[in-house]
Amino acid sequence: TIPDALRKGEPVHVVYIGGNETQAKTEKEISAELRQKFPGLTLEFFFPGWSSSWNKHLEKVKPAIDKADVVVLNPLMRTQFGRHVRKYCGSEHRWRACTGSGKESLKRSIEQAAIWIYSKRTSDSTPEQPTAKS
């Protein structure tokens, strides 16, 4: 199964964007727990907070988005920053939402995004099965 493949170390790169110092306090714990569960998982976190300098944060996250398999976006960010991040992701960079603000919600969203993108990757690389002609 897909979670089993990730547990065996299949690589997935997730970038988490959103939140502030409250969420940043959970970064190390989330990283350690998820890397123990999925050894091939690469995680990057960006906690922009509520800074009005969202354009500077946008320039910092663009290279990470370009390298990521999937981006997890939390709505805890400046509105314009979020709009520009989603626009930058467009159809070329897949992203998922994280709607919570606590450690377990962040962790669950990252885990679900990793499983989702790995399933997309494996289904996209699987040749179509021929259909029976009637």
Q: What token pair was written down for 22?
A: 């409250």
- Assign 61 to helix, strand or coil: helix
What is the C-alpha to C-alpha distance for residues 45 and 109, in angstroms, rounded to an integer?
13
pLDDT value for 130 = 41
pTM of the model: 0.88
Q: Cβ–Cβ contacts within 10 Å for residue 68, how many?
A: 25
CB 35 within 8 A of CB 62: no
pLDDT value for 67 = 96
pLDDT value for 133 = 40
What is the C-alpha to C-alpha distance for residues 77 and 79, in angstroms, rounded to an integer?
6
Per-residue confidence in pLDDT tens, the chain, 134 aa: 888 999 999 999 999 999 999 999 999 999 999 999 999 999 999 999 888 888 899 999 999 999 999 999 999 999 999 999 999 998 889 999 998 889 999 999 999 999 999 998 888 654 444 444 43
pLDDT value for 121 = 85
